[in-house]
Amino acid sequence: MSLLEIRNLKVEFDTAKGPFKALDGVDYTVDAGEVLAIVGESGSGKSVAMLATMGLLPNTATITADKMEFEGLDLRTLSAKERRRVIGKDISMIFQEPIASLNPCFTIGFQLSETLKTHMGMKGRQARDRVVEILTSVGIPNPAERLSAFPHQMSGGQCQRVMIAMAISCAPKLLIADEPTTALDVTIQKQILDLLVQLQQDSGMGLIMITHDMGVVAETADRVIVQYKGRKMEEADVLSLFENPKSPYTKALLSALPENATGKRLPTVSDFAEAGGF
């Protein structure tokens, strides 16, 4: 059985101009211990799909799916209370803007122990020790001293480490990372990606990487889903996707990479759109 299995997911938003289809019948499956990358441009619905899974979309969104199961648990019919027991514990998520996702008014020690208190029923000393332990595992120097630090006292890369620490603190079975390194420098990006992959391999959790960066895909993924305008263009394992892309959109995307440039001009996706018909 797959860890997460979603069939025919559709998401529509009510807008002043009528319904807008953000996702049009996409399937996702993730197994335990697998790294799935979802790639696409802005507006391709890559984040919407995972926000729908987490139940984080606003109520202007209409979500329908033939199947939406996490470990056999039907996510469509969960009550808000039941959902809170799963979200943040068994499924957790990391967002793009690390500094904006932490509460500026509380110390990181407080924010981290909050998760442990809610989901694991830990208290005082026990929670504190566990927080120090997790901060050590994500590579924060002097973790015991950093507990009383506020988010603004830390750099972007360190805040992202704290976010990762928070996400893995309850040993989730599935971790969803939504553009986790987009706001970071290349050298820091490398450290964060290495950390995520290391944690994933050590714990055997499923990892979903949402990204628009083909470099990040190449460095982390086992399997890749390419999305465009709310539809799935291609699904393949990472090697065959780069070696032998099937869909014309994937081909277009790969040839727009500056490192693949052969001539003076870069081919653009619109050059391919007419020929490929997507």
Partner 1 sequence: MADDVILKVRDLYRTYDIKGGMFKKASTLTAVKGVNLDVERGTTLAVVGESGCGKSTLARMLTMIDAQTSGLIEIDGLSIDISKTGISKEMRQKVQIVFQNPYGSLNPRQKIGHVLEEPLLLNTDMPSAERRDLALQMLEKVGLQPEHYGRYPHMFSGGQRQRIAIARAIMMKPKLLVLDEPVSALDLSVQAQILNLLADLQEEMGLTYVFISHDLSVVRYIADKVMVMYFGEVVEYGTRDEVFENPQHDYTKTLFAATPRADVASIRKRLAAKAA
Nearer to partner 1, 112 or 217 (CB): 217
What percent of the residues of the chain are helix, what percent strand, and what percent coil, each to the nearest 5?
40, 25, 35
Residues 23-42 contacting partner 1, CB under 8 A: 41-42
What minimum distance in Å lies between the beta carbon of 171 and partner 1?
22
Tokens of 278: 């997507």
Q: Please pick, from the candidates 7, 117, 130, 212, the single residue that binds partner 1 as defined by CB under 8 A.
A: 212
H or E segment to which residue 18 belongs: strand 18-30
Is 125 strand, coil or helix?
Answer: helix
H or E segment to which residue 254 belongs: helix 248-255
Q: Please pick, from the candidates 71, 248, 269, 278, the single residue that binds partner 1 as defined by CB under 8 A.
A: 269
Nearer to partner 1, 35 or 91 (CB): 35
- Evaluate the CA torsion angle 143, 144, 150, 153 in order and state its sign: negative
Q: Who's near 139: CB < 8 A, 6+ residues apart?
A: 161, 191, 195
Distance CA 45, CA 24 (A): 9
Q: Please pick, from the candidates 185, 198, 202, 204, the single residue that binds partner 1 as defined by CB under 8 A.
A: 185
Nearer to partner 1, 1 or 186 (CB): 186
Query: Which residue stretch of 25-33, 55-63, 122-130, 259-267 sits at the interface with partner 1 (rule: CB under 8 A)?
Result: 259-267
Nearer to partner 1, 127 or 216 (CB): 216
Residues in touch with partner 1 (CB under 8 A): 41-42, 156, 185-190, 193, 201, 212-219, 238-239, 242-243, 252-254, 256-261, 264-270
